[in-house]
């Protein structure tokens, strides 16, 4: 249970960290950490379920089955970890949820942060980046303006949510780089890795792209085109947890370099 002890301890420290953040209540930047705390807490509870049911199956925990109702539900609960394959499937399900939820929360909060911090000119720069670059490439060919306008309509984006996440965080880094406290290149490299890893999870860990590798906490994540992601060691439940903790550290540095005096409201439910 040492790994569960570690995760629980880190969850408690994470909650304490949130209390030290300078963001106003309901600010989208603070909301990221609050939502991610719920994600981390749920991961801990899911892993508790998996490992406690395994302990029941291994007779390390004794259950009073005199209550038939309890017997039925405990039997169903522990069936997940009686077979080794089912045990790993259950654990993998928790890992998937942890990583994808953390990244989706980051994407969502970053989009609304950019929407709140960027003026109209900045928004147009990132929304129209593709068509402006294409216009630059096509300039020597003297193409009709009517054709270029059609290209503009095809390539331009209507809202920041339609942009890739790396374009949004690159813009934030470029605007607030003088206030950034960490190693920007290393943090951007981690975000790129995390995004690739999360995307591969959606294809059952099969990676599609150029050969790539990334090392984190002495673990090498190896990406080969059209193959499952591999590692130099077997991963346990702390490895995915630590990835998400580090994502939070990178996001914290990113969000703290922005104008924290400006309130950027988190879009609450039932709001238009």
- pLDDT tens-digit map of 5-38: 999 999 999 999 999 999 999 999 999 999 999 9
Q: Which residue has the tokens 């939070």?
A: 248
* Cα dihedral 235/236/240/241 (nearest 10): -150
Query: What is the pTM assigned to this prediction?
Result: 0.88
Most confident of 63-77, 144-158, 228-242: 228-242
The mean predicted confidence, pLDDT, of the chain is 90
Q: At 204, is the secondary structure helix, strand, or coil? A: coil
Cβ–Cβ < 8 Å for 162, 123:
no
pLDDT confidence tier of residue 78, bands split at 50, 70 and 90: confident
Query: Rounded distance, CA 74 to CA 53, Å?
Result: 8
Residues of the chain above pLDDT 70, percent: 99
Region class of 231: left (phi > 0), else alpha (psi between -120 and 50), else beta: beta
Query: Rounded distance, CA 98 to CA 112, Å?
Result: 22
CA 59 to chain centre: 37
CA 130 to chain centre: 25
pLDDT in the model for residue 62: 82
The answer to whether residue 158 scores a pLDDT higher than 90 is: no
Instruction: Report the pLDDT averaged over residues 229-249.
Output: 95
């Amino acid at each position: 249970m040492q790994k569960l002890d570690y995760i629980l301890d880190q969850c408690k420290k994470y909650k304490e960290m949130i209390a030290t953040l300078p963001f106003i209540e309901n600010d989208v930047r603070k909301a990221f950490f609050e939502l991610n705390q719920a994600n981390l807490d749920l991961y801990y509870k899911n892993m508790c379920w998996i490992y406690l049911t395994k302990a029941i199956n291994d007779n390390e925990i004794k259950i009073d089955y005199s209550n038939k109702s309890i017997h039925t539900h405990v039997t169903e609960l522990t069936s997940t970890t009686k077979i080794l394959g089912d045990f790993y499937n259950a654990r993998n399900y928790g890992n998937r949820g942890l990583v994808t939820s953390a990244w989706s929360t980051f994407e969502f909060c970053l989009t609304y942060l950019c929407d709140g911090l960027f003026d109209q000119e900045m928004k147009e720069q990132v929304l129209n980046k593709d068509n402006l670059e294409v216009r630059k490439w096509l300039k020597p060919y003297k193409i009709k303006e009517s054709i270029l306008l059609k290209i503009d309509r095809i390539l331009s984006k209507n809202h920041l949510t339609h942009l890739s996440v790396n374009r949004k965080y690159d813009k934030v880094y470029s605007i607030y780089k003088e206030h950034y406290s960490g190693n920007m290149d290393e943090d951007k490299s981690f975000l790129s890795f995390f995004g690739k890893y999360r995307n591969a999870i959606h294809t059952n860990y099969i990676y599609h792209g150029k050969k790539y590798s990334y090392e984190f906490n002495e673990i090498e994540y190896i990406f080969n085109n059209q193959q499952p992601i591999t590692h130099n060691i077997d991963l346990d439940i702390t490895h995915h947890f630590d990835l998400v903790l580090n994502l939070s550290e990178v996001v914290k540095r990113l969000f703290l370099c922005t104008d924290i005096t400006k309130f950027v409201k988190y879009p609450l439910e039932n709001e238009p």
